[in-house]
């Protein structure tokens, strides 16, 4: 076995496999493990062998190599950090198309997307390591920081699976109380691309934070239907247990990382689960190479943070003054989102 651990590759070669033109190759970059078997002829192989001995030797030594390879893969999987960012490879991209999550008209390509894996506190009080959302690559570092902060704050999530699991069905994901991001779909009750189609919007705990729309007579309807239980937005109510996972608790966390628009601030419809960047910024980032888009978004976040810090200091703003804090946020949103 030959390995190289100083770079991004770990290469496993079995002498017998090499002799017969086979090589097992693995790749591990400290964040994810991917294995592939490459079959090719060794042009320099001059060894001769007896057919009667070939099959028994090959199977015996191939088995040893496979065991070694499996152990190596298992070790990489077990040591991989729960929180990491992964590219969307060709296989996942194809699955997204098959599962109706990605279409030809999508405003971003798979190379512009990343999967953010993270740990989260479940409603069962336990930490789970299977959280995943897909977002625009330029936003991925900040999205990773958002979910790390939610865990630190002990903000509960019901679960977070990629939209492939729901075949792109937003209603099914909401009914499952699934936290999600990228889904190449139109705005609810609209024709334009949703910000989710850019990987620039995140929905959290849809049952605790429902989408609320109003009929002509003023009657409210809730998506998902179970969300009607949370029409009253107070987390703490007299004589009742504290409710977990309500978005109001973490609006500041999302804003601190560039998701300045919260659907809970809208009048009609109201989308408590929804956080996004502005449409103009999403379009700008989608038109840039990934590295350049990341620089632009990092500068955007930095400018917003500087603005709020300056205005809060000037106003002598107390942490519990929600009205003034919202005023500062609104002014800084307008400042950084100017064309």
| pLDDT of 24 over the 70 cut | no
What's residue 65's pLDDT? 53
- How are strands ordered across the β-sheet holding 22-28? 9-12, 22-28, 33-39
Between 66 and 194, the more confident residue is: 194
pTM of the model: 0.77
| DSSP H or E segment with residue 282 | helix 279-286
Rounded to whole angstroms, how far apart are CA atoms 339 and 336?
9
Selection from 202, 307, 315 nearest residue 263 by Cα: 202
| pLDDT of 319 over the 70 cut | no
What's residue 106's pLDDT? 96
Preceding omega of 224 cis (within 30 degrees of 0): yes
Lowest mean pLDDT among 16-20, 185-189, 194-198, 248-252: 16-20
| pLDDT of 104 over the 80 cut | yes
What's residue 5's pLDDT? 36
User: Could you tell me the pLDDT band of residue 39, with boundaries at 50, 70 and 90?
Assistant: very low
Residue 309 backbone phi and psi in degrees, to 5: -65, -45
Q: To the nearest whole number, what is the mean pLDDT of the chain?
A: 82
Between 72 and 331, the more confident residue is: 331
Number of H helices, E strands in the chain: 9, 12
Q: What is the pLDDT of residues 91-101, one digit of tens each?
A: 999 999 999 99
Between 261 and 60, the more confident residue is: 261
Q: What is the pLDDT of residues 156-176, one digit of tens each?
A: 999 999 999 999 999 999 999
Beta-bridge partner residues of 186: 193
What's residue 326's pLDDT? 85
Joined tokens for residue 277: 């960047």
């Amino acid at each position: 076995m030959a390995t190289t651990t100083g770079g991004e590759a770990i290469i496993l070669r079995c002498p017998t496999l090499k002799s017969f033109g086979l090589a097992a190759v693995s790749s591990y970059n400290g964040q994810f493990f991917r294995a592939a078997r490459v079959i090719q002829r060794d042009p320099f192989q001059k060894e001769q062998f007896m057919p009667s001995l070939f099959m028994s030797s090959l199977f015996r030594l191939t088995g040893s190599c496979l065991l070694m390879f499996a152990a190596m893969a298992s070790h990489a999987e077990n040591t991989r950090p729960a929180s990491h960012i992964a590219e969307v490879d060709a296989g996942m991209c194809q699955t997204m198309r098959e599962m109706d999550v990605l279409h030809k008209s999508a405003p971003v390509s798979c190379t512009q997307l990343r999967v953010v894996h993270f740990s989260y506190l479940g409603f069962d009080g336990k930490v789970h390591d299977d959280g995943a959302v897909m977002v625009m690559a330029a936003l991925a570092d900040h999205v990773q920081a958002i979910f790390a902060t939610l865990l630190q704050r002990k903000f509960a999530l019901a679960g977070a699976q990629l939209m492939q699991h729901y075949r792109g069905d937003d209603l099914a994901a909401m009914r499952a109380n699934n936290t999600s991001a990228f889904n190449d779909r139109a705005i609810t009750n609209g024709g334009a691309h949703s910000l989710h189609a850019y990987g620039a919007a995140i929905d959290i705990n849809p049952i605790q934070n429902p989408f609320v729309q109003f009929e002509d007579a003023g009657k409210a309807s809730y998506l998902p239907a179970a969300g009607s239980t949370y029409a009253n937005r107070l987390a703490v109510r007299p004589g009742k247990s504290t409710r977990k996972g309500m978005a109001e608790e973490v609006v500041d966390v999302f804003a601190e990382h560039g998701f300045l628009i919260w659907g809970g601030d809208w009048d009609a419809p109201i989308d408590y689960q929804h956080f996004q960047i502005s449409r103009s910024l999403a379009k700008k980032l989608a038109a840039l190479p990934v590295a350049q888009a990341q620089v632009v978004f990092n500068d955007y976040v930095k400018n917003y943070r500087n603005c709020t810090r300056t205005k809060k200091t000037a106003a002598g703003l107390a942490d519990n003054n929600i009205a003034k804090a919202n005023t500062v946020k609104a002014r800084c949103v307008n400042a950084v989102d100017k064309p």
